[in-house]
Amino acid sequence: MDNVQGRLTKLVHISKRACDQLGILVRSIYSSIDEQTATVKQDKSAFTIADGLVQELLSELFEGKVKTIVGEEDDAQVRLDRRPMTVGSLCVPEQHERIIERSRRGMQELGRELEDGGYQDLTVFIDPIDGTREFSTKKGEQCSICIGFSDGGGQAVAGLVYRPIPEGGFLTTNGKISGFVEKLMGELKEERVSSGGAGNKMLMLLEGKGGMYIQDRGVSRWDTCAAQAVIEAYGGLLCRLDREVKAYSNLNGLLAVSKEGRERLGEVREAMRRVEEEEGPSYD
């Protein structure tokens, strides 16, 4: 790998790690988006606090490391050093403040890895939330964070398109499901996504084609061992249905989520508790 390719590869890898951190913030905002955190700009395009915050935090990451930063929301007036935090005319709800502070520290740490990287010939183009209208109307799986780099001649030389919000959906078997699973889907307000194969459903989680996979019937280790190793290597989880224990027998059922889905584990466990008051898992 030559020096130019090597430094661009490093730049994209750091951008990906930045998006991994910012994705937590984006998903937090998305889960509570309302008229207090979204508005319409003069050009009639949608704007949310996520647009301004992601633009600001990525700008902090790249400031002084590249020649020029060009972003869709360059004009957003973001104030993070006083309370309440504001993005333009919008106030940032207090519930997001700790995530923002953690994200800022993360950008500072990643920025140190870019020092002396020799990126002063590059311009970075940032679209913090590509698809803001979809983001603000609960179609977040259609949105992405776009970070592109061009050289001094204007040629695009590297980039990252990052989808922070995976598709929702409750992955189940193609066959009949138990009353427990049916009620749990309703409690979580998730749509059923039917598919065959335990391993295939784990891959669907990693591809962002489902939010969680819950099975309350017998599964075999030859169905799940390889998939468990893969999904956990990418930050996800596969464990017993009744509690977070990774070693399980065939009749314990299973709960599997991607790295992003782990953020909802508390919500899922609480929903399971409520459903079990009416109908418990099948475990057949």
| 181 pLDDT higher than 70 | yes
User: Considering the chain, what percentage of its residues have pLDDT values greater than 90?
Assistant: 62
pLDDT at site 87: 95
Give the model confidence (pLDDT) of 97-133 as tens digits.
999 999 999 999 999 999 777 899 999 999 999 999 9
Q: Does domain 1-162 have CATH number 3.90.1640.30?
A: no
- The answer to whether the annotation marks 69 as part of a ligand binding site is no
Strands 123-130 and 68-71: parallel
Contact between 190 and 199 (Cβ < 8 Å) = no
pLDDT at site 246: 58
| 2 pLDDT higher than 70 | no
- The answer to whether the annotation marks 116 as part of a ligand binding site is no
- The answer to whether the annotation marks 130 as part of a ligand binding site is yes
Residues 6+ apart with CB under 8 A from 265: 237, 244, 257
- The answer to whether the annotation marks 43 as part of a ligand binding site is no
Residues 6+ apart with CB under 8 A from 63: 69, 111
Q: Any idea where the domains of the chain sit in the sequence?
A: 1-162, 179-278
| 247 pLDDT higher than 80 | no
Confidence class of residue 19 from pLDDT cuts 50, 70 and 90? Answer: very high
- The answer to whether the annotation marks 129 as part of a ligand binding site is yes
HSE toward the beta carbon, residue 202, CA cutoff 13 A: 23
Q: Is 235 left (phi over 0), alpha (psi -120 to 50) or beta?
A: left
* Alpha carbon distance 202, 196 (integer Å): 11
CATH of domain 179-278: 3.40.190.80
Find the helix or strand (DSSP H, E) in which 131 lies.
none
pLDDT at site 281: 86
- For the chain, give the mean pLDDT: 90
Same-fold call for 1-162 versus 179-278? no
